[in-house]
Amino acid sequence: MSTTQLHPVQAPAKTRTGFRRKLKAYIALTKPRVIELLLVVTVPAMILAQNGMPSIWLVLATLIGGAMSAGSAGAFNCYIDRDIDKQMNRTQDRPLVTGELTDREAYIFAWLLGLASIAWLWLTTNWLAAALSLAAILFYVIIYSLLLKRRTEQNIVWGGIAGCFPVLIGWAAVTESVSWPPVILFLIIFLWTPPHYWPLSMKYRDDYAVAGVPMLAVVRGRVTVGLQIVLYAWATAASALLLIPVAGMGLVYSVVAVLSGAYFVFDAHLLYAAAVRSEEGKPMRLFHGSIAYLSILFLAVAIDPLLPI
């Protein structure tokens, strides 16, 4: 027997490896970190709407539908932005840039996931939650990705509306209606989005400049951006206090809203003060801090109805 004969190639192992890589690419296409943040605000809105804990099945059904909806919007965004993603260091590992997925695969996947999310929410929750899910996808894809992102420095302000829909979807899933408390929650996220995202754009200013995306940090000076962040941080903290009289929030939420809001505003002022001194500051500290702020605030939204004090 020839010494060149080797063991047979294990083709199934290669197939499994290829499948796993493809699956990971599809998951990456949905922007999982964005989905996580959106789901964080959905459950508290449902608990507040129920004034207690909704059925586990309803919560799971809403989260699954919301994840598919946000994933579809993220996939569409990756498809639309595939040209500029190639130019930015921050996005060069996305599946359409690396070639792990083709444009056609991403486009079909985005459509299928979006349609599935609407059908799922309609069948498992109600028509209003499904309609709001559709509105969120359309707003993110058409208004933000296609119309605003490459045309105006206010892109993230108005485009951020898409990220506010999960609280409405969660509330509608429980009550089949929309009232003032979820509108206040919507407002909180709307005002929070600029001071959350603008520090990130400050960090990756050169990336956006190369790609031709007119983020505020690209077209305005650091002091102007810092001032806008401070103003929006104050507005966010103030809007969080509106929920106290509107939804009859108790001591838990009230204390958390005041303390976390004060810290969020303080962090924003630190970044602005650094800009005034012509220093770069620590924009990523505020970026990560803003995520912590929103998570803590909505955790309080969830706990407050369960501990009425």
CATH number of the domain that residue 64 is part of: 1.10.357.140
Residues 131 and 255 reside in one and the same domain? no
Residues 124 and 35 reside in one and the same domain? yes
Residues 170 and 296 reside in one and the same domain? no
Residue ending a domain, choose from 134, 156, 178: 178
Domain-embedded: residue 1: no
Within 13 Å of residue 137, how many CA atoms lie on the same side as its CB? 26
Here the tokens at position 6 are 């080797």
Residues 192 and 304 reside in one and the same domain? yes
Residues 192 and 290 reside in one and the same domain? yes
Residue ending a domain, choose from 138, 162, 178: 178
Domain-embedded: residue 10: no
Domain-embedded: residue 74: yes
Here the tokens at position 26 are 């599809």
Query: H/E element holding 94?
Result: none
Residues 191 and 146 reside in one and the same domain? no
User: Would you give per-residue pLDDT tens digits along the chain (309 residues)?
Assistant: 444 444 444 444 445 558 888 899 999 999 998 888 888 999 999 999 999 999 999 999 999 999 999 999 999 999 999 999 998 888 888 999 999 999 999 999 999 999 999 999 999 999 999 999 999 999 999 999 999 998 999 899 988 899 999 999 999 999 999 999 999 999 999 999 999 999 999 998 888 888 888 998 899 989 999 999 999 999 999 999 999 999 999 999 999 999 999 999 999 999 999 999 988 889 999 999 999 999 999 999 999 999 877
Domain-embedded: residue 253: yes
Number of structural domains found in the chain: 2
Domain-embedded: residue 159: yes
Residues 166 and 290 reside in one and the same domain? no
Please tell me whether residue 93 adopts helix, strand or coil conformation: coil
Domain that holds residue 41: 23-178
Here the tokens at position 294 are 């929103």
CB-based burial label for 251 (10 Å; 0-12, 13-18, 19+): exposed
Domain-embedded: residue 121: yes
